[in-house]
Structure 1
Amino acid sequence: MSHLLERPAAGATDQVPPPRDRARLLRRQRRSRWDMRLAPYLYISPFFVLFALVGLYPLLYTGYLSLFDWDRAAYVRGEFVGLANYAFVLGDPVFRKTLVNTFSIFVMSSIPQVVIAVVVAALLAGNLRGRTVWRMSVLLPFVVAPTAAVLIFGSLFADRYGLANAVLAEVGLEPIRWHVERWWSHAAIAGMVNWRWTGYNALIFLAAMQAVPRELYESAALDGAGRVRQFLFITLPLIRPTMIFIIVTSTIGGLQIFTEPRLFDDSPAREGGPNQQYMTTTLYVYARGIEDQFYGRASAAAWVLFVIIILVVALNFAITRAVTRRSVR
């Protein structure tokens, strides 16, 4: 009887694995846990490694150069000057003028660009005939090479024979010297930026609008809300993350504008016009660093621009979140 009780029950499958198999199983479990913890970081690490090499290192090295003078004759780093380069840049009237030019072009381009992109996206989200063709067509300006676009608009806004002045002459207005008058040159450059980027941002807004549940619009329509009220109280609040993303990226790009003012005029005065009337801050960095070879001052100007962009982006982010939260309430 006792011998029978010591036998395992019939059908029992629980068996204790040998010590070697148990150790192997424990090692496999540990590797599995570490794999779950480290795998996400390993997957995204190539971006951060590449960013550290081509983004973070140049940024830090630029800050290092901004604290030194530069021997232009020997092409070597000179003596340590501390914040003297920053004092020169902040006291330079040309640099202050470039800041005004940069913010002027930024306001003329980024604000209308975002507003028009939202409106275009709302129209493309409707029931249009051939809407696929329309959605593809708004991206065509973005496909055009920036240099080609700038050359086209440079001819469009030519001082004597441009199409813009020809239209003004037809309606009895005086021609505008687009490359000489400061604020009109800003408007022309902002027009190039808007033409190239509005369609791209409109497609991003369109993708966000299509993700909004249709049931919300149907419920609002049953409650008597028209299309305008649906757009203001349903669409805009629900695409808030996308709108913040577009505003942040437009701010960064608008304050770093370089190609359009650099190629706007093909005259020998290539630094934003003869009186720097449309010279942006990035053009100032280029002129001081590449043409004048004042690398310390150019590095200081680049860091000042970097700090300004961070502050403006943070301000835009806070204002956008406050406005959208109030609209939701």
Structure 2
Amino acid sequence: MSVQLDARPPTPAAPPGRTTRLHRLSRMDLRWSPYLLIAPFFLLFAIFGAYPLGYTLWVSLHDWDLLGSDPTFVGADNYTALLADSDFWHAVVNTLGIFVLSTLPQLLAALWLANLLNRQLRARTGWRMAVLVPNVTSTAAVAIVFGVLFGREFGMVNWLLDLVGVDAIDWKSNRYASWFAISTMVDWRWTGYNALIFLAAMQAIPRDLYESAAIDGAGRIRQFWSITAPLLTPTIIFVAIISTIGGLQLFTEPRLFHSGPNPIRGGPLRESQTMTMYMFENAFAPYYNFGYGSAVAWLLFVLIAAVATVNVLVIRRLGNGGRKGGRG
């Protein structure tokens, strides 16, 4: 019997210095690689987010018309004048009114639509893709189409109202009617997008819970309120935060909904002028008061931050309540 020996020479051991260096590099890689991977986002945010935000605050403390003159420091004069400006508070009320009319119906409709798409439907993939069509449609095209639909003389909405005996409504000249029309446009465009977010969260819920509930005799409605809704609470709050930020920054829809010589005013009597439209009107044409417009932008930022803080507190409270309930 012959024994074959491995003719390959043994691998020489690494020098102690090299082993220590490799170990140190490995530890540095594990420690610093995550920071290097996320650094590009924070770098871009610092350039295109933090710096413009700080610069806008600096500009809001100056009087600057953007037409060649140097900025003049005026302190808090822009904010003082802004808080006493009736047009500004008119825009704040318009912003909050459109936000309330659009956000709550949008979330409820998205939740209902996601619940339907979560069932065993024929061609359900096609239906799920179809709900994204409004979101991928150009905002300008959507605003123009809805502007025609809500036209006073030849609009389809007034034609349908006339069939049931309701007089024609001037959607673009009536303040509350314009709120409703713009809110309808926003709901149509974003409901499907939010529905897909809810649907993704519903897909993550274990099916065993529904099977156990069905065995216990719970119907679809009972299963939704007892299983789906509680487990979707974090997702509902997330969608509410995103919808809140978008609703308070509304610009394109009300800007394009109105036609006329000066549509940035949101109608002849500023029926639907939002805070972003008011900011644009003052910072650029026709007033070119960049300092005043920057003050509007900062108050809008404060409003959004306040609403976001309230949402964070709600999330923490719900989370703490869930953990306490679990312990009990």
- The within-5 A match list for 1:1-329 is 21-77=15-71, 79-270=72-263, 271-291=265-285, 292-319=287-314, 322=317, 329=325
**Counterpart code for 1:35:** D
- Contact 1:258-1:282 at 8 Å conserved across structures: yes
Aligned partner of residue 152 in structure 1, secondary structure: helix
After superposition, the C-alpha distances for 1:150-180 in whole angstroms (9 at most, x for unaligned) are 0000000012110011111111111000000
Aligned partner of residue 284 in structure 2, secondary structure: helix
After superposition, the C-alpha distances for 1:56-81 in whole angstroms (9 at most, x for unaligned) are 1111100010111114542432x211
Deviation of the 1:44 alpha carbon = 1.1
Structure 2 distance, partners of 1:230, 1:176, is 42
- Contact 2:65-2:291 at 8 Å conserved across structures: no
- Contact 1:233-1:327 at 8 Å conserved across structures: no
Deviation of the 1:269 alpha carbon = 2.4
- Contact 1:289-1:297 at 8 Å conserved across structures: yes
Deviation of the 1:325 alpha carbon = 6.9
Structure 1 distance, partners of 2:212, 2:65, is 70
TM-score normalised according to structure 2 size: 0.91
Structure 2 distance, partners of 1:152, 1:114, is 23
- Contact 2:67-2:288 at 8 Å conserved across structures: no
Q: Which runs of 5+ in 1 are unaligned?
A: 1-14
Q: Percent identity?
A: 49
Structure 2 distance, partners of 1:207, 1:22, is 52
With 311-320 and 102-111 compared, the bigger mean Cα shift is at 311-320
With 268-277 and 178-187 compared, the bigger mean Cα shift is at 268-277
Deviation of the 1:317 alpha carbon = 3.7
Deviation of the 1:324 alpha carbon = 7.7
Structure 1 distance, partners of 2:53, 2:290, is 14
Deviation of the 1:241 alpha carbon = 2.2
CA RMSD of aligned residues (A): 2.0
- Contact 1:101-1:278 at 8 Å conserved across structures: yes
Structure 2 distance, partners of 1:52, 1:154, is 39
Alignment length (residue pairs): 313
Deviation of the 1:240 alpha carbon = 2.2
TM-score normalised according to structure 1 size: 0.90
Higher CA-based Rg: 1
After superposition, the C-alpha distances for 1:123-163 in whole angstroms (9 at most, x for unaligned) are 00011122111111111101110000000000000121100
With 240-249 and 54-63 compared, the bigger mean Cα shift is at 240-249
